[in-house]
Structure 1
Amino acid sequence: MRTIARHASLTAACLLALTSLTACANDAANTASAGSGGQGDGKGTKVKIMVGGLDKVIYLPAMLTQRLGYFDAEGLDVELLSEPAGVQAETALVSGQVQGAVGFYDHTLDLQVKGKSVESVVQFSHAPGEVEVVSTKKAGTVTSPKDFKGTKLGVTGLGSSTDFLTKYLAVKNGVSTNEFTSVAVGAGPTFVSALQQGSIDAGMTTDPTVATVLSKKAGKVIVDMRTPEGSQEALGGPYPSSSLYMQTDWVNQHKDTVQKLADAFVKTLKWMSTHSASEIADKMPADYAQGDGALYAASIKNTLPMFTDDGVMPQDGPETVERVLKAFNPTIKNATVDLDKTYTTEFVKKAAENSAG
Structure 2
Amino acid sequence: MPLLPALAVVLPLLLAAQTIEEQEWHLDALDVYSAQDQSRGDGVIVAVIDSGVDATHPDLAGRVLPGTGFGSSKGTDGTTDVDGHGTGMAGIIAANSRNGGALGIAPGAKILPIASADEKEQFALDVVAESIRWASDHGAKVINMSLGFSSSMTPSLVKAVNYAIEKDIVLVAATGNEGKEVSAPANIAGVIAVAGTNREGKPWKSSNVGTDTVLAAPAVSIVTTAPESVYSSGYAEMDGTSAASAIVSGVAALVRAKHPQMPAKDVVNALIKTAQDLADPGRDEATGFGMVNPMGALTAQFPPVARNPLLPEPKPSTTQPTPTLAAQQPVQPVVEMKDRLPFVAGVAGGTALMTGLLIALPAIRSRRREPVVSARDTPPTPW
- Output the TM-score relative to the length of structure 2: 0.28
Q: Based on CA coordinates, which of the two structures has the bigger radius of gyration?
A: 1
Q: Which has the higher helix share?
A: 1
Query: Larger RCO: Structure 1 or Structure 2 (Cα < 8 Å, ≥ 6 residues apart)?
Result: 1
- TM-score of the superposed pair, with normalisation by structure 1: 0.30
